[in-house]
Amino acid sequence: MDTLRGILTSTVLAVNTVFWCFLLYIPGILKLIPIPPWQKLCTRVIIKISEAWVYCNSLWMRVFLPTRFHITGTDNLKHEGWYLVTCNHQSWVDIFTLQHALTGRIPFLKFFIKQELIWVPVIGLAWWALDFPFMKRHSAEELKKRPELKGKDLETTRKACEKFRTTPVSVMNFIEGTRFTPAKHARQESPYENLLKPRLGGTGFVLGVMGDYLPTMLDCTIHYPGGRPGLWEFMTGKVPEIHLEVETIAIPESLRGKDPEDAEFRTEFKVWMEAVWARKDVKLKARLSNV
């Protein structure tokens, strides 16, 4: 029965995704016409289509899955405005959870994603149409061989943020940079019990470029009482509950609109963000102790 449920839910999700993605391609292509008011209109149409897509995903989860979502901290959010959103990253299920909890309450989430994901069938082009920033991380060895690549990610971030100024948006970043696993945690020698070290470069650059638009950060903490699930476990109904706590945090004025490469800014931002991360670690520890 679990396999049948997984096949059914996966099929419904695939059909829903294909339908909305192909609908989204139309204004995505029309947005290539280089007339700013027209492009802004197309962006708003794309966002409305994307929100409808997520609403259908939420309906799909309610109908086919037994998962119970326990969500706190979303009552006073505003759909019009700009937010910086951060979250711990444990599973592909995180994205479904965040979209389910936040779509319609804040502007549509736009993620920083790996450049290779643009080649994902159907959905890769949808991410392109949505102006998701595609990031390509370069190893130290690559940068040594090709020093001209240094700073390319920051330039990508700058260009994406310039687009984000035209329409209210929630800039989402999993600042751990990858999904948590015990092996990664040990390899990093992370000072946090339940989190990887935050990678702050991209987020700091967003504050530097868009700080005058971003007064508020939403720090999201996801916890899976049954353990970190794989996507197939979710599809087969083996994730009984998911907890999401959203904390609204005012971003200090001293961190907004500064030069992201300034040493003083980077030090202050690191101290502030590590304090946020330490609080998140305490929350997760409390959750785990109640399991």
Burial class of residue 256 (count of CB atoms within 10 Å of its CB; 0-12, 13-18, 19+): middle
In a domain, 12, yes or no: no
In a domain, 59, yes or no: no
CATH number of the domain residue 73 falls in: 3.40.1130
What is the pTM for the complete model shown? 0.88
For the residues 152-168, what does the mean pLDDT come to?
Answer: 74
pLDDT in tens, 243-255: 999 999 999 998 8
* 37: pLDDT strictly greater than 80: yes
In a domain, 41, yes or no: no
pLDDT in tens, 52-85: 999 999 999 999 999 999 999 999 899 888 899 9
In a domain, 139, yes or no: yes
Domain count, the chain: 1
In a domain, 233, yes or no: yes
In a domain, 272, yes or no: yes
In a domain, 192, yes or no: yes
What percentage of the chain has pLDDT greater than the value 90? 62
pLDDT in tens, 82-132: 899 999 999 999 999 999 999 999 999 988 777 788 888 899 999 989 888
Q: Residue 269's domain spans which residues? A: 66-289
In a domain, 180, yes or no: yes
